[in-house]
């Protein structure tokens, strides 16, 4: 890890508001809401004035938006447009989708995004950053299984986990 000596754990909700709008609400450890709309990110924290910045300055979020919106809306074309897609496993049972950003600028920050799923549900989303850092999102029911002192290996096991 580049700047930290132990992983950072946050929990909350990720909501698709339709269109290109995505909301990321963090409840723990500190309350924070980030909204993506019209290419701009608005970040709000309790007791602080909101911070705005362009989506193009946060490639992780761009990737998150592209993949999430495409997956949730079932827009395969959009997914194709933004990523090179590799699929592995059995679509009806355990599967893994690897997305590599096509945009060179985005790829400089985010190397790939891997989504592990099980039938119709996605279990977790792993974002490999170019500097070696890895962000792992445990989705849905799996989120409750986040260990207090997670290690990369333990989380990977959870994602690809046995049924």
| Closest by CA position to 90, among listed 118, 122, 67, 125 | 118
Which residues in this chain contact another protein in the complex, by CB under 8 A?
1-8, 10, 19-20, 24, 26, 30, 32, 34, 36, 38-41, 43, 45, 51-61, 64, 109, 129, 131
Q: Are 106 and 59 in contact (CB under 8 A)?
A: yes
- For 39, list phi and psi in degrees, rounded to 5: 75, 5
| Cβ 160 to another protein shortest distance, Å | 23
- In this structure, the number of other CB atoms found within 10 A of the CB of residue 67 comes to 21
| Cβ 152 to another protein shortest distance, Å | 14
| Cβ 122 to another protein shortest distance, Å | 20
| Cβ 120 to another protein shortest distance, Å | 27
Helix (H) or strand (E) holding 78: helix 76-82
Nearer to another protein, 7 or 89 (CB): 7
Helix (H) or strand (E) holding 60: helix 59-73
| Cβ 61 to another protein shortest distance, Å | 4
Q: Are 138 and 121 in contact (CB under 8 A)?
A: no
Q: Which residues is 144 bridged to in the sheet?
A: none
The DSSP symbol for 29 reads S
3-class state of residue 10 by DSSP? coil
């Amino acid at each position: 890890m580049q700047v930290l000596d132990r992983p950072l754990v946050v929990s909350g909700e990720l909501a698709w508001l339709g269109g290109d709008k995505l909301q990321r609400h963090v409840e723990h450890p500190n309350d924070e809401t980030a909204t993506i709309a019209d290419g701009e990110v608005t970040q709000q924290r309790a007791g602080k004035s909101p911070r705005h910045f362009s989506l193009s300055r946060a490639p992780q979020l761009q990737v998150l938006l592209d993949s999430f919106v495409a997956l949730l809306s079932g827009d395969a074309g959009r997914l194709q447009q933004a990523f090179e897609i590799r699929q592995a496993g059995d679509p009806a049972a355990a599967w893994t989708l690897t997305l590599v950003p096509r945009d060179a600028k985005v790829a400089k920050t985010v190397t790939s995004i891997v989504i592990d799923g099980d039938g119709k549900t996605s279990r977790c989303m792993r974002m490999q950053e170019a500097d070696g850092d890895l962000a792992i999102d445990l989705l849905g029911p799996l989120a409750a299984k986040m260990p207090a002192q997670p290690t990369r290996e333990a989380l990977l096991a959870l994602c690809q986990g046995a049924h």
